[in-house]
Structure formats: structure tokens, C-alpha cells
Amino acid sequence: MVYTLGEAARATGKSKATISKAIKSGRVSARKDETGTFHIDPSELHRVYPPTVSSEHKETPENTPEKSDIDGTIRELQARLEAAHERLSDKETVIADLREDRDRWRQQATALLSDHRPQGLLKRLFGR
């Protein structure tokens, strides 16, 4: 199903002029037939302008979830969230350990570096 300009305006709650300007500016792609009627793909239109509540289907689902199903889903999502937090905490601990190791290696490397070049002209000449 494609929208005409008027249908697109009703579906988004915007004016025809707004939809037309969006098409002309390239924000929304549409094709124009030989009679000058715009044909706008709904997914393309709703990518830019969300559908209004009145344009959405108001059908009630046949199988409404029961409270026990919802509670079970909530518990499952909470368990997943806790597991994700634990993994994140573990990763943060590993990162802190790696930074600490890096800093120790850096200190050791800095301590080992010293200027071994002879100082002054006489030391350069005689190597003492």
C-alpha cells in the first residue's frame, strides 16, 4: 500500500505542504505518476515522520498476556540486566588491572632509561 499526498498528511498529522516540501527537499522519497499524483511508500514516510495515534490500527490482540506472563518476563529481563551489570563490572576490573600493569611497566622502563652518553669533551675523548 502506498500513500498519496493527502493520505500521507493524514497518517502523520502534518500538512500536505509539509510533506510536499519534504519530498522536494529529498528528505522523503516518492514517485510521481503521469497524472501528477505522488506515491509515497509508508516506510519511507514514517522514517521521517512518525505515524499519528489516530492513523495506527486500533485492533486489540486476540491473546492478551496475563499478569503471570508479564511478571515472568519482568523477572527474566531483570535477571538479564543483573548478568549484564556483572559482566560490565568484570570488564571494568580487568581494565583497571591492565592500566595498573601498564603504569608499572612504564615506571620500570623509565627507571631503566638513563643517559649513557659521555658528559663533556674530555669524557667523550677519553671515554671516562
Residue range 63-72, pLDDT digits in tens: 666 777 888 8
pLDDT in tens, 59-100: 555 666 677 788 889 999 999 999 999 999 999 999 999 999
pTM summary value: 0.42
> Pairing between strand 38-39 and 31-32?
antiparallel
Give the integer Cα–Cα distance in Å for 103 and 88: 23
